[in-house]
Structure 1
Amino acid sequence: MERERDRKVKIPYQTKKQEKKQQQQQQHQQKQNTAMKDSYTVSANDGGGQGGSPPLPPPPSAISHRPSLTGIHNVGFTSDDSGFGSGEATGGRQELGLQQRVDVKPKRVMQMIGTFAAALAHLGIGTIIGFSGVTLPQLTDQESPKFSLTDFQATLFSSVIHLGATLGCVVGGVPHAFIGHRWSLLVALPGSLVAWLVLFFSRVPWLLILARGVLGFTMGVTCFSASNYVKEFAHKDLKPSLLVALDALRQSGFLLVYGLGYKAHLSWRYVAIICGTLTTVVPFLILLFLPNAPRWLVLRGRMDEAERSLQFYRGRDYDCRSELLKIRNKLERRRDSVTMTDQLRNMRDPVLLRYVVLFAFLHFVSQFTGEVVISAYIVPLFELAHASSPYDDAIIVGAMRVLATLVYFLGVQRVGRKRLVISSFLICGFSLAVLAISFYDQSRDKIFSDYEVIPIITISIFSFFSNIGIPVLNLVDVELLPGTAKATGLAILYGTYYFGGFIATLTYPTMIASIGPSSTFWVYCVFNIIVVVIDYADLPETRGKTSEEIITREREDDVSKKGPLPSY
């Protein structure tokens, strides 16, 4: 006993301190590993969820093991990638070189590259819609030696893209849950290129119209897939700026096609091939080297691929593990709203159903406010107004559309949604009223006959504020619909929006021929006022509020007025 006591006395105090510290680190590491393993385990009690939805599969491929100084260490999300650790850069962690990086900000370069690919696809949307605006004068030229479109064929040529987009939003949205938004784009972009090529080589009018319908279908798929792909990989701090970039490139598509058709220096065939190549081939090649969205990979139980995707978009030093766990937990809470059937069932809530119906009506009506017909018939419209330089005026309007997107980004977070919608559509209605008076004056007193600047001023003001009001209206949709019904609800609203665009562009030439341009734009002015009245009377303010808070408050108001609502 005396020998043992003497031997203990000879042990330095510093050695005991290091031994105790190492034991504490080992205990902390074991607790952390246990917590990580538990976070990847789906309990048996969770199976089925509500409505019989299958549970998210546990990702065994995401969990691997390797030896470390503390025994078997779970590195499903390796510490050298994410930097997630105990907070002490001592002991074994120093030997492994795994310094904690929790405070490392995500890299932006790869997120910007991914957004650039999606933005080019959105650029194509603007060129598809605006293509007819600058090519119809050539296509309807009866003196053309090859062929020309009749008035009815020209109307279909302008409007059929919106009918195709309606089908693209509703039908094309089904495969997204199975193949993801990236693969949806990789399928839609080649289809769009083929349609552009058919447009370039076609010598038959009805083949041109068919190609435009296919372009509309791919436009509907692209619009939904590109924006959601960016939403799923973008970091929350960078997401608003990246989504605005999508809107800016979509509006730039109008400016691009108007510029290519400037004074008809280019044949409409070459305008088609330039737009088709730039907006399909380039984003397709970029998307080939990009990963699938992390959220979709987590939803499919492919956690190891989700980790690599996040590392690609955030950088190797970013805390990928923590963000993936948040995504997984969020999806677990919404397991009862994964499928379209589940979301349709959730929309049986009376308050939510009322908002979906109201927004569907608003989206349909908003297409009759004049925005879609002005973009689709921009050059013929200026020719109708006897403008001396209709192609120059079209470029000015295209520039105003891009400028409106930037102003929207700067003002939408500072001004209430209701105020923006009401003020924007009021100004749009006033601009169309002045334009209607101008058209009336052309056939009467001709007071404004010497003022060619009036059409360009009124249409530019209208295009500017219309491209603020309509995006805000779309933003209210996203903020108001809860996650348990958002995907299906937005698909319905997008489909209604494009169907309204089809009816508006189809009826515009008939209205011009039957009631005249002045009365036509008075009708569009009235529809702007209808949007203002509905927004003022029925839509809530969503700025700074969650959808759950708004719907709960509306439900409480209904209960106080009508008694308890039935529960589902």
Structure 2
Amino acid sequence: MNTSALTIVIALVAATGGLLFGYDTGIISAALMQLMENFHLSTFNAEIVTSAIIVGALVGAISAGPISDAIGRRPSVLIAAVLFIIGTAAIIFANSMTSLVICRLILGLAIGAATQIVPIYIAEIAPPERRGSLVVAFQLAVGVGQLGSFILGFMIRNHSWRLMFGIGLVPALVLFIGMLCLPNSPRWMALKGRVMEARQVLVRLRSTKKEAEGELKEILAYGQGHEVDGKKGYAELFSRWVRPALIVGVGVALFCQITGINAVIYYAPTIFADVGFSQSSALLSVIPVGIAMVASIAFGGWAVDAWGRRKTMLYLLPGAIIGLLITGTMFHLGLANHGMGAWVTVFSVMAYTFFNVGSLSVGIWLIGAEVFPLSCRSQGMSLVSATHWSIDLLVSLTTLSMVKLLGAGGVFWLFAAMNFLAFCFVFYFVPETRGVSLEEIERRLRTGTFLSFKK
């Protein structure tokens, strides 16, 4: 079965939320050195400004679940788009550390909501055999946004940081205008009793009317007695039969962050500058990291449907471990900014980025969007997103301090150990969901066979 062009367009427009996520989190790496100088920020204050967006994302992720259940996935994405526009417009005029923090909190609310809603929205409109690549389009947009922020940050490094942040208005407007033209999730509509509307959307999304009718029948069969409801959803989320999905979703989210990827994105220029790189060289050094990130997400988007979610993570994580061990060694020996050592360091960071992002960062939003039953999917995804942002907050608040305490080499070695633990977690706890309908995944949970599928 071929995925309709409309389904692809819907996924790409919705994934613009990921572009904003990537740009707004990535641009701080270029702007931070200017902000520290202009606002006379201490190391701790720099960590506060950087982390404000993550605090907002944590609140946005938790709040988005009940909202998307109540009013639908599409209207919730529209709310996130409005928050992106407000936060970006306001930060252009920030004139103090306090106003910077408030604006980044607003942007964080939008990012947290987007990470909770957009993957679910795409997963609920996508056919099973293309669900992996279409949901990963969200993560690919994140990578493109971050790479774009690195390139633009370097190109306009001699201009105001206000311009760096202001460019984010463009994709925010694209997301808002695009979502005005898209349908709501057919699964959400069906479970709200709006069966005729759900049927109309599925007929537009699927290749044949027969296929659409069969999918609607399956949705309704699993929806009997399980209407989407916030209060019931949280009770069901922590029930015994959903627990395997909870462990998988939250576990992948946790390891996605404690393995260090956002620490590299946020602070790589600062870390490189501290060991002797010039400001221009430090900013330039993260562009190859961004290229590796986008390449790895594109590869992962293919691999999750070709190899499977589980195999992709197991195949790639060892490469991330090796890349971090080499990077840590180069910093520890003081070779990171000298001749060939600088090249080895940059390439090893690129290797780490490729293998880590292509595995855990590709898997987090996809797995979170598909393993939970519909009755508590929003709540489960809220918890996945909240875990991601909570650990991200911890990492962002402590990375520079850890570098001062352990040295850059020690921090990279610590992240290598976390990647090894992530490999062990995937091996023992993550089943394969490639090509399986969302309703079949729910059936496996109900029958206790969820973890038996590890092919």
For the aligned pair, the TM-score class normalised by the smaller chain equals 0.7 to 0.9
User: Offset at 1:440?
Assistant: 1.2
Q: 1:355 to 1:235 in 2, by over 3 A?
A: closer
SS at match of 1:373: helix
Q: Distance in 2 between matches of 1:292 and 1:549?
A: 27
Q: 2:253 aligns with which of 349, 360, 363?
A: 363
Q: Do the aligned residues in 1 keep the contact of 2:59 with 2:109 (CA within 8 Å)?
A: yes
Q: Within the alignment, does 1:257 sit opposite 2:149 as a pair?
A: yes
Q: 2:393 aligns with which of 479, 483, 502?
A: 502
Q: Which residue of 2 aligns with 1:135?
A: 31
Q: Which residue of 1 aligns with 2:320?
A: 428
Unaligned stretches of 5+ in structure 1? 1-102, 558-568
Q: Distance in 2 between matches of 1:122 and 1:369?
A: 21
Moved more, 412-421 or 539-548: 539-548
The equivalences for 1:362-401 within 5 A come to 362-387=252-277, 389-401=281-293
SS at match of 2:159: coil
Q: 1:537 to 1:401 in 2, by over 3 A?
A: same
Q: Which residue of 1 aligns with 2:137?
A: 245
Deviations 1:470-506 (A, max 9, x none): 1235544455444454332222122111111000111
Q: 1:474 to 1:309 in 2, by over 3 A?
A: closer
SS at match of 1:372: helix
User: Offset at 1:549?
Assistant: 3.8
Q: 1:537 to 1:307 in 2, by over 3 A?
A: closer
User: Offset at 1:252?
Assistant: 0.2
Q: Alignment RMSD, CA only?
A: 2.9
Q: Which residue of 1 aligns with 2:331?
A: 439
Q: Within the alignment, does 1:291 sit opposite 2:183 as a pair?
A: yes
The equivalences for 1:322-333 within 5 A come to 323-324=212-213, 326-327=215-216, 329-333=218-222
Q: Distance in 1 between matches of 2:223 and 2:275?
A: 54
Q: Do the aligned residues in 2 keep the contact of 1:421 with 1:473 (CA within 8 Å)?
A: no
Q: Within the alignment, does 1:174 sit opposite 2:66 as a pair?
A: yes
Q: 1:303 to 1:335 in 2, by over 3 A?
A: closer
Matched AA of 1:496: T
Q: Within the alignment, does 1:149 sit opposite 2:41 as a pair?
A: yes
Q: Which residue of 2 aligns with 1:124?
A: 20
Query: Which has a greater percent of helix?
Result: 2
Q: Within the alignment, does 1:111 sit opposite 2:31 as a pair?
A: no
Q: Distance in 2 between matches of 1:112 and 1:355?
A: 27
Give the TM-score normalised by structure 2.
0.87
Q: Do the aligned residues in 1 keep the contact of 2:277 with 2:337 (CA within 8 Å)?
A: no
Q: 1:556 to 1:411 in 2, by over 3 A?
A: closer
Q: Distance in 1 between matches of 2:450 and 2:183?
A: 42
Give the TM-score normalised by structure 1.
0.71
Q: Distance in 1 between matches of 2:88 and 2:117?
A: 20
Q: 1:541 to 1:431 in 2, by over 3 A?
A: same
SS at match of 2:225: helix
The equivalences for 1:227-242 within 5 A come to 227-236=119-128, 238-242=130-134
% of aligned pairs identical?
22
Moved more, 517-526 or 300-309: 300-309
Deviations 1:117-172 (A, max 9, x none): 2122210010111121111111112xx4xx34332221011122222212111112
Tell which structure's C-alpha radius of gyration is larger: 1
Q: 1:538 to 1:188 in 2, by over 3 A?
A: closer
Q: Distance in 1 between matches of 2:30 and 2:379?
A: 35
User: Offset at 1:274?
Assistant: 0.9
Unaligned stretches of 5+ in structure 2? none
Q: Distance in 2 between matches of 1:434 and 1:293?
A: 45
Q: Which residue of 2 aligns with 1:33?
A: none
Q: Distance in 2 between matches of 1:486 and 1:210?
A: 30
Q: Distance in 2 between matches of 1:434 and 1:474?
A: 29
Q: Distance in 1 between matches of 2:410 and 2:182?
A: 51
Q: Within the alignment, does 1:334 sit opposite 2:227 as a pair?
A: no
Q: Which residue of 1 aligns with 2:87?
A: 195
Matched AA of 1:333: Y
Q: Within the alignment, does 1:489 sit opposite 2:380 as a pair?
A: yes
Q: Distance in 1 between matches of 2:398 and 2:213?
A: 49
